[in-house]
Chain A
Amino acid sequence: MSNAARTFLGVHLVPMLGPTIAAAAPTNAVEGKAKHVIYLFMAGGMSHVDTFDPKPKKKEVMGKTEAIATKADGLMVGHYLSKTAEVMDKVCVISSMNSTQGAHEQGAYVMHTSYDMRGTVQHPSLGSWVMKLGGKIHPELPGYVAINSAPEMTGGGFFGAKYSAAPVGSPEEGLKDSHRGHELSEEDFGRRLSLADKLNRQFHGRYPNVEVKAYEELYRDAVSLMNSKDLEAFDLRREPESTRSLYGTGRFSQGCLLARRLVEHGVRFVEVQLAGWDTHYDNFTGVEGRCKEFDQAYAALLTDLEKCGKLKDTLVVVATEFGRTPEINADHQGGRDHHPSAFSCLLAGGGVKGGMRHGETDASGSKVKDGIVTVQDFNATIAHALGLNWNEIIMSPSKRPFQIADKGKPLTSIFS
Chain B
Amino acid sequence: MIALRLISFFAMLVSVLPAGAETPASGEFAMLKKAAFRVDQQIAAFYRSKNLQVPSVTDDATFMRRAFLVAVGRIPTAEEALDFIEIDDPTKRELLISYLLGSEGYSSHMSNWVFDLLRVSDVRNGTIGTNTPYRHWVREAVAANMPWDQFTTRLLSATGDGWDKDTAAVGYYTRDFGMPLDNLSNTMRIFLGKRMECAQCHDDPFGETERHDFYELAAFTHGQEPIGKKLIEPLYTELRLGDKYMTDDYHIGRMLVDSIYGLSLGGDGAGRIALPPDYQYRDGKPGDIIAGKTPFGKMVRMSDRKDKGGGRKELADWMVNKTDDQFAAVIANRMWKRVMGKGVIEPTDEYVEAKDTNHPELVKLLSDLMRELKYDLRAFQQVLLLTKTFQFATNPNASVVEGGDDFHGRKIERLSAEQIWDSLITLADGDPDRKPRKQLDDRIKVAGRTVLAGKKSMSQLSKELLALQSEAEVRSYFNRLVEEVKSDSSSGGDGSMMSMSAAGGHDSDAMVRASELPSPAPRDHFLYVFGASDREVVDGASKDPNVGQVLSLMNGFVQDELVNRSGAHLYKSLEGITSDAEKIRRLYLAILSRTPTAEEMALMLDELKARGDEGCRNVVSCLVMSSEFLFLQ
B45 at interface, CB cutoff 8 A: no
Closest to A179 in B: B555
A286 at interface, CB cutoff 8 A: yes
Which of A29-37, A71-79, A219-227, A378-386 lies at the binding interface? A219-227
Q: Mark A218-255, 1 if CB is under 8 A from B, else 0.
A: 11011001100000000000000000000000010000
A173 touches B524 (CB 8 A): yes
In the assembly, what is the distance between CA of A168 and CA of B278, in Å?
Answer: 41
A177 touches B556 (CB 8 A): yes
Q: Which residues of B contact A199 (CB under 8 A)?
A: 600, 622-623, 626-628
Q: Which residues of A contact B628 (CB under 8 A)?
A: 199, 203
Chain A 143-202 residues near chain B, CB threshold 8 A:
148, 150-152, 155-156, 161, 164-170, 173, 175-181, 183-184, 188, 191-193, 195-196, 198-200
Q: A103-B185, A195-B619 are in contact. Are A221 and B626 (CB under 8 A)?
A: no
B197 touches A103 (CB 8 A): yes
Q: Which residues of B contact A209 (CB under 8 A)?
A: 396, 398, 412, 631
Q: Which residues of A contact B278 (CB under 8 A)?
A: 325, 366
B550 at interface, CB cutoff 8 A: yes
Chain B 516-556 residues near chain A, CB threshold 8 A:
522-525, 528-529, 531, 534, 536-538, 540-552, 554-556
Q: A155-B542, A170-B524 are in contact. Are A142 and B547 (CB under 8 A)?
A: yes
B626 touches A102 (CB 8 A): no
In the assembly, what is the distance between CA of A106 and CA of B542, in Å?
Answer: 16
A105 touches B537 (CB 8 A): yes
Q: A203-B627, A218-B549 are in contact. Are A191 and B396 (CB under 8 A)?
A: no
Q: A176-B548, A207-B394 are in contact. Are A120 and B402 (CB under 8 A)?
A: yes
A177 touches B555 (CB 8 A): yes
Q: Which residues of A contact B457 (CB under 8 A)?
A: none
In the assembly, what is the distance between CA of A199 and CA of B413, in Å?
Answer: 18
B295 at interface, CB cutoff 8 A: no
Q: Which residues of A contact B540 (CB under 8 A)?
A: 105, 150, 152
B86 at interface, CB cutoff 8 A: no
Closest to B523 in A: A169
A200 touches B555 (CB 8 A): no
- Distance in Å from the Cβ of A362 to the closest Cβ of chain B? 13
* Cross-chain contact of A155 among B182, B529, B544, B557 (Cβ < 8 A): B544
* Cross-chain contact of B551 among A152, A177, A191, A278 (Cβ < 8 A): A177
A214 touches B548 (CB 8 A): no
Q: A173-B524, A225-B547 are in contact. Are A215 and B627 (CB under 8 A)?
A: yes
- Distance in Å from the Cβ of A268 to the closest Cβ of chain B? 15
Query: How many inter-chain residue pairs (CB < 8 Å) link A and B?
Result: 201
A279 touches B126 (CB 8 A): yes
A204 at interface, CB cutoff 8 A: yes
In the assembly, what is the distance between CA of A211 and CA of B413, in Å?
Answer: 8
B178 at interface, CB cutoff 8 A: yes
Chain B 374-398 residues near chain A, CB threshold 8 A:
394, 396, 398
B554 touches A200 (CB 8 A): no
- Distance in Å from the Cβ of B559 to the closest Cβ of chain A? 5
A166 touches B626 (CB 8 A): no
In the assembly, what is the distance between CA of A118 and CA of B550, in Å?
Answer: 29
- Pick the most buried of A183, A204, A216, A337: most chain B CB atoms within 10 A of its CB: A337
A387 at interface, CB cutoff 8 A: no
A215 touches B551 (CB 8 A): no
B321 at interface, CB cutoff 8 A: no
A15 at interface, CB cutoff 8 A: no
Closest to A331 in B: B225
B490 at interface, CB cutoff 8 A: no
A206 at interface, CB cutoff 8 A: yes
B582 at interface, CB cutoff 8 A: no
A280 at interface, CB cutoff 8 A: yes
Chain B 545-587 residues near chain A, CB threshold 8 A:
545-552, 554-557, 559-560, 564
B622 touches A196 (CB 8 A): yes
B396 touches A221 (CB 8 A): no
In the assembly, what is the distance between CA of A169 and CA of B524, in Å?
Answer: 4
* Cross-chain contact of B550 among A120, A168, A215, A278 (Cβ < 8 A): A215
A340 at interface, CB cutoff 8 A: yes
In the assembly, what is the distance between CA of A398 and CA of B41, in Å?
Answer: 33
A402 at interface, CB cutoff 8 A: no
Closest to B197 in A: A103
Closest to A106 in B: B197
* Cross-chain contact of B528 among A167, A212, A219, A332 (Cβ < 8 A): A167
A176 touches B556 (CB 8 A): yes
Q: Which residues of A contact B525 (CB under 8 A)?
A: 169
Chain B 588-609 residues near chain A, CB threshold 8 A:
600, 603-604, 607
A167 touches B178 (CB 8 A): no
B560 touches A181 (CB 8 A): yes
A208 at interface, CB cutoff 8 A: yes
Closest to A152 in B: B542
Q: A103-B197, A199-B628 are in contact. Are A192 and B396 (CB under 8 A)?
A: no
B614 at interface, CB cutoff 8 A: yes
A181 touches B178 (CB 8 A): no
Q: Mark A316-341, 1 if CB is under 8 A from B, else 0.
A: 00000000010100011001011010
A276 at interface, CB cutoff 8 A: yes
Closest to B544 in A: A155
* Cross-chain contact of B347 among A104, A119, A179, A188 (Cβ < 8 A): A119
Q: A173-B524, A280-B178 are in contact. Are A178 and B125 (CB under 8 A)?
A: no
Q: Which residues of A contact B550 (CB under 8 A)?
A: 215, 218-219, 221-222
B301 at interface, CB cutoff 8 A: no
B441 at interface, CB cutoff 8 A: no
B622 touches A192 (CB 8 A): yes
Closest to A104 in B: B537
A195 touches B618 (CB 8 A): yes
Q: Which residues of B contact A192 (CB under 8 A)?
A: 554, 618, 621-622, 625
A415 at interface, CB cutoff 8 A: no
B200 touches A103 (CB 8 A): yes
Q: Which residues of A contact B396 (CB under 8 A)?
A: 206-209
A281 touches B177 (CB 8 A): yes
In the assembly, what is the distance between CA of A204 and CA of B604, in Å?
Answer: 19
B483 at interface, CB cutoff 8 A: no
In the assembly, what is the distance between CA of A164 and CA of B600, in Å?
Answer: 33
Q: A192-B621, A280-B178, A286-B126 are in contact. Are A151 and B555 (CB under 8 A)?
A: no
* The 5 A-B residue pairs with the shortest CB-CB distance in the complex, in nearest-first order: A177-B556, A280-B178, A281-B178, A169-B523, A195-B622
Q: List 21 A-B contacts (CB under 8 A).
A: A104-B182, A142-B547, A152-B541, A152-B544, A155-B542, A155-B544, A164-B544, A170-B523, A175-B548, A195-B618, A195-B622, A199-B622, A209-B396, A212-B412, A215-B627, A221-B550, A225-B551, A280-B179, A281-B178, A332-B178, A340-B201
Extra contacts besides A152-B544, A280-B177 (20): CB < 8 Å: A104-B182, A155-B544, A161-B544, A166-B547, A176-B529, A177-B548, A177-B554, A199-B600, A199-B626, A211-B543, A212-B627, A215-B627, A219-B625, A226-B551, A251-B523, A281-B126, A282-B126, A327-B277, A331-B225, A340-B201
